[in-house]
Amino acid sequence: MNDTLPITLQVNGHAHAIRVEPRKTLSDALRIDCGLTGTNVGCEHGVCGACTVLLDGAPVRSCLMFAVQAQGRALRTVEGLAQGGNLAPLQQAFIDHHALQCGFCTSGFLMLATGMLERNPTIDDASLREVLASNLCRCTGYQNILRAVAHTRDALRAGTVKNVDGAQATATSQVSR
pTM tops 0.85: yes
Fold of 89-166: DNA polymerase; domain 1 (1.10.150)
pLDDT at 175: 36
Start-to-end Cα distance in the chain: 44
What is the C-alpha separation between 36 and 13, in angstroms, rounded? 13
CATH 1.10.150.120 positions along the chain are: 89-166
pLDDT in tens, the chain (177 residues): 579 999 999 999 999 999 999 999 999 999 999 999 999 999 899 999 999 999 999 999 999 999 999 999 999 999 999 988 899 999 999 999 999 888 899 999 999 999 999 999 999 999 999 999 999 998 877 999 999 999 999 999 999 998 887 654 433 333 333
Tally Cβ neighbours within 10 Å of residue 30.
27
pLDDT at 2: 74
| pLDDT of 167 | 54
Residue 139: per-residue pLDDT: 85
Cβ(20)–Cβ(68) below 8 Å:
yes
Q: Which amino acid is at 41?
A: V
Spatial CB neighbours of 170, under 8 Å, sequence gap ≥ 6: 86
Helix intervals (H) in the chain: 26-28, 89-96, 106-119, 125-132, 143-158
Q: What is the pLDDT of residue 174?
A: 37
d(CA 138, CA 85): 30
Ranges of beta strands (E only) in the chain are: 5-11, 14-20, 52-55, 58-61, 74-76
Among 103, 28, 117, 110, residue whose Cα is nearest residue 76: 110
Quote the CATH superfamily of domain 5-78.
Answer: Beta-grasp domain (3.10.20.30)
Chain region(s) in the chain for CATH 3.10.20.30:
5-78
